[in-house]
Chains A and B, each alone.
Chain A
């Protein structure tokens, strides 16, 4: 079966520290992968998406970067976190078929202090 793993579930980091969030999918190959963020009082904002290894598209200019070193691995990073980076980060992969929707991971709650 197809599953998506995202970790850690919660993270508290000081301002200026680095960040690395990892997402992996199982049971599929060459998926489209996405990073979304839900900030307080806001909807789900698309940050990055990837259609293949090494291919990253950025949606908004920000303090974050993404990488896809392997087919089923998607990493969200930052060299120096800002307070405004706090939020709920979600990884998703595209599911084919009639519903044309995404399957989301369980999310990472990041608090920058």
Chain B
């Protein structure tokens, strides 16, 4: 049962254009959503997050939108740069019991930004 879904395994965009990465989730109890970026043979690095009580969070070229009614979030990268080429993971924070939490990840989307 996959609670966090990234239905697009890959995305290719031109440098300077907008990249939109999508993520859907099924568990309405998730309270935080995060995006991670991963290069080959490296661990994921945190990119941006959003609380479930907000619908938008912006950090430089990166903006995350959350639509709670649709259980959908998206990451927008504007303008896209070749260095943005990586696998992007969507993650959701859920309660693991007591005051402990855990992150559930999607399968990732490979973004390729072409010069």
A interface residues, Cβ below 8 angstroms from B:
6, 9, 32, 34, 36, 41-46, 49, 51, 57, 59, 88, 90, 92, 94, 99-107, 109
> Is B103 a contact partner of A102 (Cβ separation < 8 A)?
yes
B interface residues, Cβ below 8 angstroms from A:
4, 6, 32, 34, 36, 41-46, 49, 89, 91, 93, 96, 100-108
B46 to chain A: which residues have CB within 8 Å?
Answer: 99, 101-103
B44 to chain A: which residues have CB within 8 Å?
Answer: 44, 90, 104
> Is A42 a contact partner of B107 (Cβ separation < 8 A)?
yes
> Is B43 a contact partner of A46 (Cβ separation < 8 A)?
no
> Is B96 a contact partner of A49 (Cβ separation < 8 A)?
yes
Known contacts A100-B93, A101-B49, A46 near B103 by CB under 8 Å:
yes
